[in-house]
Structures are given as C-alpha cells and as structure tokens.
Amino acid sequence: MDITIEQAAEDELKEKPDENNLGFGSIFTDHMLVMAYDDGHWQQPVIKKYQNFSLDPAAMALHYGQAIFEGLKAYRGKDDRIYLFRPQDNLRRMNKSAHRMCMPEINVDEVFAALQELLRLEKAWVPSVSGATLYIRPTMIATEAGLGVRPARQYLFFVILSPVGAYYPEGFNPVTIFVTEKYVRAVPGGVGNAKTAGNYAASIMAAVEAQKLGYTQVLWLDAIERKYVEEVGTMNIFFVIGDEVITPPLSGSILPGLTRDSVLRLTRDWGLNVVERRISIDEVFTAADNGTLREVFGTGTAAVISPVGALSYKGNVCQVNSGKTGELAQRLFDELQEIQYGLRPDPYNWVVKL
Ligand code: COI
C-alpha cells in the first residue's frame, strides 16, 4: 500500500506547547492522516498538514451520527524511542464499532503502517515529561451527502494527534463519582459496546448535572433495573470488596476497554481473585457500610487508572479508602505505565516500539 506524504512547509509548523500544561485534547500536531472511502473501496492514505475538512452540509455523519472513534497513546521511553500500547487492538475494536454502525471496516495492517508513518513524522510531538503522552484519535465519519436514513456510501477515516496530560483535573488523585438513577447510557441491543459518537453525546447532560453537584464523572447503571453497575463516563470500573476484585461483565452495553482487559490480565497473573460479574450499586454501598469496600478505580486510555475517592447515590455519599488512592490502583498504575513506557518487560506483547 502506498502512502502519500505531503509535508507541511517548515514555516507552517506550529510551536511546541509547554509540556507541563497540556491539558487534554486541545492542542493538535502539524500533520494528520486521511483516507477516503468511496465506491466500495478505501483510497490511498494521505498524510498531510493538519487542516479543516470541507464537508457537504448534508454529510450523513452530521445528521444520523455514523461516526466512530478510538483512543490510544504514544509514549516516549527513557531511550527516546516511541512506544505504542496495543495499537492493533484499538484498530480491531474500531472495526467492531464499524460493523455495528454499518460502516466499512479498515485494513488493520495497512492502517497501522500508515499510522506509524504519521507518528515517525510527528515524533517530536511526543512529550518527554512524566505523565504526558501523545494521544492518538483515529476517527471515521460518513461523508456522503444525503438525508435518507441508510448506510452512507462515502466515508472519511482520519487520525489526529494531540499531546496530552492527565484527563481529569485531579490527575492520578481520586475522583468523585455521581451515580445517576435518572439517565441511562445504553440499552441491551443498543450501541453501548460500540465506540460511537452518539454514546458520548447522550452522556453529556448527566455529566453536566453531576459536575454542577461537584462530581467529576457519572457512574451508569443498567437501563432495565437501574440497579447494576455498568461503567463510568469515560472509563470502565473496578471494585475491590474483601479479597475479590470485581468488574461488570461485557454484557453488550458497556465498552470493551483495552485498559480494562489489560487490568484483568495483570491482576489474574498476580494471582488475585478477579471476577467479571454483575455488581449492584446496593452491594457497593453495603460493602462501604460494613467496611469491606476497599477500593474503587476506573480504567481507560485517557484516564489510565483513576482511583475513585467517593461515590454519591440517592443522596448517600460513601468515601472509598478514606478518599485516598488504594494499593491495587497504585500498583496497576505503576506497572501499566512502566510497560507502556518500555521500562519493564512486556510478557504480553502489548507494546510496539516505533
Ligand atoms: C479514551 O479513553 O481514549 C476515550 O476515548 C475516552 C474519551 C472519550 C476521552
């Protein structure tokens, strides 16, 4: 597969940001990868200057939401090499989302080769300061102009890059979570397990209301009984109750997180008692009352491992581990990061060195 590279002129390159104040997702690099789909085929990928798209106002993604995305990160190791964490798994998951949304699948190997080219070109944008990374956002949208509700025939796949710091303002410090009984994120048979834009649009109102009450994120319960824990706005969730590490199963309505999967793998290999099972919010609050709730933490690419310090549900607030980061969350954070930055052996072959 040929990749066309149209490099930006030297005087068009942006100034690099202060790596200690990156925030999340508001700074973009000099180049992007673009690949159009038409007539049943993906065209040749093009790497070009980061720029606006020209879209027909009737582009179907704008009306009916055929839009999917992924999130992964590039890490700068101590050896100055760039490391990627499970990148092909992200692209494979994108194909699952594409399938669910009646969008065309990509060729994982070819797209990964093009992504690596883009990253080689943008290597200088991968931050060096600890905790900062280059966030990679592969996206696909329906571009065909049309108001009929059906799968589009034209799409655009693109990858943009953003140097980022921690996703939450709290950094790795515990976040506070509001458990909503009023809204649901996804229903059985819906698109909850696809990484599609509409899932995030649907979550915003609950997040805004939670933030007004002083909480960082929303915890979603199942849509039928509003009883069982599903996931948090931008991450999967784990509980440590007694000696059991629990996370809700991939029931079809939650996102199959790669960090979730990596945490399951690590904790099982450490010999912990890890189970994927339904867990009701009442069980969590009962465990908090009787002193067996030891830890709660979220997992996600953007969020990494994010300890939860407090949960609010129906007017009751439970503190988790006195609002402090738990031992398991800390160990997972440290070990995952060390694997991601190429600082420790990677027995799982998760890491790709550029
Ligand atoms: C990620 O963790 O990469 C996500 O996609 C969550 C996000 C919407 C910031």
Overall fold of domain 175-340: D-amino Acid Aminotransferase; Chain A, domain 2 (3.20.10)
Whole-number pLDDT of residue 100: 98
Residue 68 Cβ < 6 Å to ligand 1: no
What would the pLDDT profile of 59-72 be if each residue is shown by its tens digit? 999 999 999 999 99
State percent of the chain over pLDDT 90. Answer: 95
Say if ligand 1 is within 6 A of residue 71 CB.
Answer: yes
What is the distance between the terminal CA atoms of the chain, rounded to a whole angstrom?
19
Using an 8 Å Cβ cutoff, are 131 and 16 in contact?
no
Whether 169 has a pLDDT exceeding 80, the answer reads: no
pLDDT in tens, 6-26: 999 999 999 999 999 999 999
pLDDT digits (tens, 9 = 90+) for 223-276: 999 999 999 988 999 999 999 999 999 989 999 999 999 999 999 999 999 999
Check residue 130 and give its pLDDT: 87
- C-beta neighbour count of 8 within 10 angstroms: 15
Domain boundaries, the chain: 4-164, 175-340
Fold of 4-164: D-amino Acid Aminotransferase; Chain A, domain 1 (3.30.470)
Confidence of residue 167 (pLDDT cuts 50, 70, 90): confident
Q: What is the pLDDT of residues 321-347, one digit of tens each?
A: 999 999 999 999 999 999 999 999 999
Tell me, yes or no, if the pTM score tops 0.85.
yes
If you measure from the C-alpha of residue 167 to the centroid of ligand 1, how many angstroms do you get, rounded to a whole number? 9
CA of 316 to the centre of ligand 1 (A): 28
Of 49-53, 73-77, 117-121, 173-177, where does mean pLDDT reach its minimum?
Answer: 173-177
Domains 4-164 and 175-340 share a fold: no
Q: Which atom of ligand 1 is nearest to the CA of 200?
A: 8
Structure tokens at 153: 């025939």
Sequence-separated (6 or more) residues with CB below 8 Å from residue 305: 172, 259, 263, 297, 298, 299, 329, 332, 333, 336
Q: What angle do CA 339, 342, 343 make, to 5 degrees?
A: 80
The pLDDT of residue 172: 78
pLDDT of residue 119: 98
Is the CB–ligand 1 distance for residue 300 below 6 Å? yes
Q: From the CB of 301, is ligand 1 less than 6 Å away?
A: yes
